[in-house]
Amino acid sequence: MEAIITGDIVSSQNIEPVHREQLFKKLDVFLKSLKNNYLSSYETFRGDSLQCKTIVPELALRTAILIRAFFRAYIPENTKSVINKKNKKGYFSTKYDIRLAIGIGEVDFIDEKKISSSDGQAFRLSGEGLDSLKNTSQHLLVKTADHNFDEQIEPAVLLVDALIQKWTQNQAILVLYKLQQMKEDEIAAQLQISQSAVTQRKKTAEWYAVEKLVTYFEKTIHNWQK
């Protein structure tokens, strides 16, 4: 069993070329940072799309939310100073997001150097899932070979997706660090804020709900594979 995540950037054609170029470069750096701990391979293509394989299927949802958090937290370099002057605390929404479909199933063959040249059930489920997200307001989906599991997890995934779409930039950064299991004092130091501010961001980001869902998903997928 493998987990494949396929995605495309929301409204990428509406992003200014200079900002789009920055975003693609930052995305590549971010995906590289996920290798070894979360991803075994990834590929970006067509400028606004990506496909990746997680190290183990259990990490699929955590990794997908990490990627969503990266986008929700993203600020173009040449707009940071303007934004910081207007809103020092970072309580602003971001226009950046990505649709992601997780497919979990068997694979026929995998080319780790060019994952888009691979095939199998997990790839088809992920691709079909992404196609079903287009022209909808939903940006996250899980599709497996077990239809009963899909039906059980769908309401929770829909709720966390709606939550992610409402994250402000600083809430997204908080979740980005928490999903990578950073300690709160480390987060406070990284963001140059107090630990009480970290606690407040956890609350407004509804971190406990996200953590609960990710833990449930990881345990369920682990047991499902036995």
pLDDT digits (tens, 9 = 90+) for 55-114: 999 999 999 999 999 999 998 876 654 444 444 455 556 789 999 999 999 999 988 888
Q: At what angle do helices 147-164 and 60-73 cross, to 10 degrees?
A: 20
- Nearest Cα neighbor of 22 from 67, 59, 77 is 77
Specify the pLDDT at position 117.
Answer: 84
Specify the pLDDT at position 13.
Answer: 81
Main-chain dihedrals φ then ψ at residue 90, nearest 5 degrees: 80, 20
pTM of the complete model: 0.92
Q: Contact, 43 vs 35, CB < 8 A?
A: no
Owning domain of residue 106: 2-224
Q: Contact, 137 vs 39, CB < 8 A?
A: no
Q: What is the pLDDT of residues 181-226, one digit of tens each?
A: 999 999 999 988 999 999 999 999 999 999 999 999 999 998 877 6
Q: For residue 51, what is the domain's CATH number?
A: 3.30.70.270
Long-range contacts of 82-91 (CB under 8 A, 24+ apart): 89/170, 90/168, 90/169, 90/170, 90/173, 91/168, 91/170
Number of domains in the chain: 1
- The Cα 17–Cα 214 span in angstroms is 35
